[in-house]
Amino acid sequence: MPFSLSTIRIELGPESFIRQAEPDDLPSVLAVLSQMHEDEPTLSVTPANRATFQRILDREWRVLLVVESSGRVIGTLDLFLLENLTRDGRPWAGVENFVVDKDFRRKGIGRQLLDAAISIARSAGCYKVQLISHESRHAAHALYTQAGFTAHVRGYRYYLDR
């Protein structure tokens, strides 16, 4: 991909900004991600997920964004940029693990994080940004629609560990 990430820092307001995740962010990112599946055990730092986190940060085709406010990580979005043989070889982008801390929802933070991901994908020459969302997440679906996403496809999952 003819794309190079420089340091990302998008100011949102006093003491609030979007940036790329750093190795020391792992505990905070896990705390926010734990809110995605509140019926599951809280995620904690382990040697395995520390190694995984570092691999994610090291991938040139992956951008793990965080929202920092007053020194605290309050949101995260994992953007991956994938090569593609169609659309004249233009890559496409996918969004995964997009969560804003429950105490900061409905304040426009999620929209700003999503807009940042779209901007990065556009800069990388991607022809689309794709995400999936559980059918029960109605508030999230409203956000996606407001951001210009359309739900004109049907997605399927096959969980290998169940």
**pLDDT bucket at 5, cuts 50 / 70 / 90:** low
The token pair at 4 is 């190079």
Alpha carbon distance 17, 31 (integer Å): 18
**What pLDDT shows up at residue 147?**
86
Q: What is the pLDDT of residues 10-60, one digit of tens each?
A: 878 888 889 999 999 999 999 999 998 878 888 889 999 999 999 999 999
The residues, ordered by sequence, that sit 6+ positions from 54 with a Cβ below 8 Å of its Cβ are 23
pLDDT of 128 > 60? The answer is yes
pTM score, whole prediction:
0.88
How long is the chain? 162
- Domain boundary assignment for the chain: 9-146
> Domain spanning 9-146: which superfamily?
Gcn5-related N-acetyltransferase (GNAT) (3.40.630.30)
**pLDDT bucket at 132, cuts 50 / 70 / 90:** confident
**What pLDDT shows up at residue 129?**
95
Angle in degrees, CA 40, 46, 51, rounded to 5:
115
**pLDDT bucket at 146, cuts 50 / 70 / 90:** confident
Q: What is the pLDDT of residues 55-106, one digit of tens each?
A: 999 999 999 999 999 999 999 999 999 999 999 999 999 999 999 999 999 9
